[in-house]
């Protein structure tokens, strides 16, 4: 018997609400048969090239997340948690815009951390958890 994956947003009414960033405060997960933990995906192409512009780096990080999902037989709808590490606070709105375009209406649990990242050329890194 195959279990059916069920991903449900959880947003406690007595906790702060996200009015503009489109994410879930928590995700309830049931019926999954496997979990995929995606290491921080960097804004580099297979050849190691890193775009100079933040939006291009963000799109490349997401392309790398998607590549890992696909390698595991999953897709964006399997994502349940994403953590984005931003090098610069001022990139947060562009980061959100790119994430909205990639994720569409699929709500995930989300954390965004402003910190330095491993390589000085990288402006962000994205790690994720997916389930099926």
Q: What does the pLDDT profile of the chain (132 residues) look like in tens digits?
A: 457 888 887 878 888 776 666 777 787 878 878 899 999 999 999 999 999 999 999 999 999 999 999 999 999 999 999 999 999 999 999 999 999 999 999 989 999 999 999 999 999 999 999 999
- Token pair belonging to 8: 């449900």
| Cα–Cα distance measured from residue 29 to residue 129, given in angstroms and rounded to the nearest whole number | 12
How many percent of the chain have pLDDT more than 70?
95
pTM over 0.85: yes
Q: Are 132 and 78 in contact (CB under 8 A)?
A: yes
Position 29 scores a pLDDT of 78
In terms of Cβ atoms closer than 10 Å to its own Cβ (0-12, 13-18, 19+), residue 130 is buried
Hunting for tokens 């709105």 — which residue is that? 93
């Amino acid at each position: 018997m195959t279990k059916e994956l069920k991903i449900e947003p959880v947003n406690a009414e007595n906790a702060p609400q996200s009015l503009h960033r489109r994410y879930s405060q928590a995700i309830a997960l049931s019926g999954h048969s496997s979990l995929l933990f995606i290491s921080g995906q960097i804004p580099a192409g297979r050849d190691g090239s890193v775009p100079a512009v933040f939006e291009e780096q963000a799109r490349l990080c997401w392309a790398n997340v998607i590549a890992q999902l696909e390698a595991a037989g999953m897709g964006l709808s399997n994502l349940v948690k994403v953590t984005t590490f931003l090098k610069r606070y001022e990139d947060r709105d562009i980061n959100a815009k790119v994430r909205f375009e990639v994720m569409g209406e699929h709500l995930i649990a989300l954390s965004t951390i402003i910190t330095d990242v491993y390589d000085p050329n990288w402006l962000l890194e994205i790690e994720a958890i997916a389930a099926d």
